[in-house]
């Protein structure tokens, strides 16, 4: 099987699993989100060569934050992540013989990179309109990724960030923004009360900045891989690489999307 068929087949399976868990919600969604971020942190730890103690500590803190959020205690979950990142980073730095006051940045950044989106996604799904809000965030990331991939391959042109990711182009970025608008249009037909001009404008205006964050998240992960000297974050997903490779755009979009929905009250 070629690269593109493997990528498509894996993508279909991943979308089916994600949408099924999202539809069921509750423990099913929390379990899937938690499993995804634990795998992400495992890949992050390998890329940053964290010690075994740092990996176990990070996995434990992430699991605890996910459990707390599932039981609607997201504030404590955020405190756990922040406190765990600070104290754990300081402890690991001292353990490695670094001077006092210096944090292990690989551990701290990895814990926040993986922890904030799991809190955001579990919290968002638990809201009254959380099914639609979470689907909106996921759909716009998928739309941006798919449209960017095919626009970049078919149109080509100037590179977006050649020093970080030579294969990404400006045409792909524009295609990604167009894909996010298509996703917003689809959600207007699905989300009750949004099949009107006000609903279209609301989701379109939200989709564009989230799509930009999705693209930046993709570039950030490409920069991490380049710095670590690896092509993919892992090998778990045929045609996609690792879990981080598949969810890199969702990380910032989920956090920012949950923040906007929390601030506006659009999820009820």
Which whole number is the average pLDDT over 141-147? 91
Decide if pLDDT at 250 tops 60: yes
pLDDT exceeds 80 at position 84: yes
Residues 133 and 113 in one domain: no
Residues 203-213: pLDDT tens digits? 999 999 999 99
- Give the pLDDT confidence of 221-232 residue by residue, as tens digits: 989 888 888 887
**Claim to verify: residue 25 and residue 111 sit in the same structural domain:** yes
Do 90 and 150 belong together in one domain? Answer: no
What mean pLDDT comes out for the span 13-42?
95
Please give the pLDDT value at position 4.
Answer: 67
- How does 198-228 read in b/e, with b if 16+ C-beta sit within 10 Å? ebbebbbebbbebbbbbbebbbbbbebbeee
pLDDT of residue 232: 75
Confidence at residue 242, expressed as pLDDT on a 0 to 100 scale: 85
Looking at residue 103, its pLDDT comes to: 77
What is the model's pLDDT at position 222?
Answer: 87
Are 232 and 203 in the same domain? yes
Domain hosting residue 47, numbered range = 1-126
* Residue 101 backbone class (left: φ over 0; alpha: ψ -120 to 50; beta: rest): left
Tell me the average pLDDT across 59-86: 96
Beta pairing partners, 78: none
CA distance 62 to 64: 5
Domain end point (choices 92, 126, 160): 126
The residue from 72, 101, 126 where one domain ends is: 126
Q: Residue 34: its pLDDT value, please? A: 97
Do 30 and 46 share a domain, yes or no? yes
Name the residue with higher pLDDT: 206 or 268: 206
> What pLDDT, on a 0 to 100 scale, did the predictor assign at position 181?
92
pLDDT in tens, 94-137: 887 765 556 788 999 999 999 999 999 999 999 999 999 999 99
| CA–CA distance, 61 with 53 (Å, rounded to integer) | 12
Cα–Cα distance measured from residue 176 to residue 209, given in angstroms and rounded to the nearest whole number:
11
137 and 115 in a common domain: no
**Do 139 and 246 sit in the same domain of this protein?**
yes
Same domain, residue pair 246 and 259: yes
- The total of structural domains in the chain comes to 2
Same domain for 140 and 167: yes
15 and 110: one domain? yes
How high is the pLDDT of residue 98? 63
* Eight-state DSSP code of residue 39: H
Predicted confidence at residue 156, as pLDDT, reads 77
Last residue of a domain, one of 93, 111, 126: 126
Residues 178-198: pLDDT tens digits? 999 999 999 999 999 888 888
Residues 84 and 188 in one domain: no
Q: Are residues 8 and 122 in the same domain?
A: yes
- What are the DSSP E strand ranges found in 120-197? 159-161, 165-169
159 in Cβ contact with 153 (< 8 Å): no
């Amino acid at each position: 099987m070629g690269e593109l068929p493997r990528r498509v087949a894996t993508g279909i399976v991943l979308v089916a699993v994600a949408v099924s868990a999202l539809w069921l919600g509750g423990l099913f969604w929390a379990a899937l989100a938690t499993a995804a971020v634990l795998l992400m942190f495992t890949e992050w730890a390998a890329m940053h060569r964290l010690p075994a103690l740092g990996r176990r500590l990070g996995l434990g803190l992430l699991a605890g934050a996910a459990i707390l959020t599932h039981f609607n205690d997201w504030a404590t979950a955020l405190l756990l992540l922040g406190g765990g990142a600070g104290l754990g980073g300081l402890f690991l730095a001292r353990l490695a013989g670094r001077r006092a006051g210096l944090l292990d940045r690989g551990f701290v950044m990895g814990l926040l990179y993986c922890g904030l989106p799991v809190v955001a996604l579990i919290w968002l799904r638990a809201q009254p309109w959380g099914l639609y809000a979470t689907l909106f965030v996921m759909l716009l990331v998928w739309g941006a990724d798919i449209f960017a991939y095919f626009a970049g391959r078919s149109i080509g042109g100037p590179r977006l960030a050649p020093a970080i990711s030579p294969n990404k182009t400006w045409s792909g970025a524009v295609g990604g923004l167009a894909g996010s608008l298509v996703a917003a249009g689809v959600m207007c037909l699905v989300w009750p009360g949004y099949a009107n001009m006000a609903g279209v404008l609301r989701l379109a205006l939200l989709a564009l900045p989230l799509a930009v964050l999705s693209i930046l998240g993709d570039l950030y992960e490409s920069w991490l891989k380049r710095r670590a000297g690896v092509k993919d974050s892992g090998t778990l997903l045929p045609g996609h690489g690792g879990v981080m490779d598949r969810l890199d755009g969702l990380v910032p979009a989920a956090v920012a999307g949950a923040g906007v929905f929390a601030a506006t009250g659009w999820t009820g």
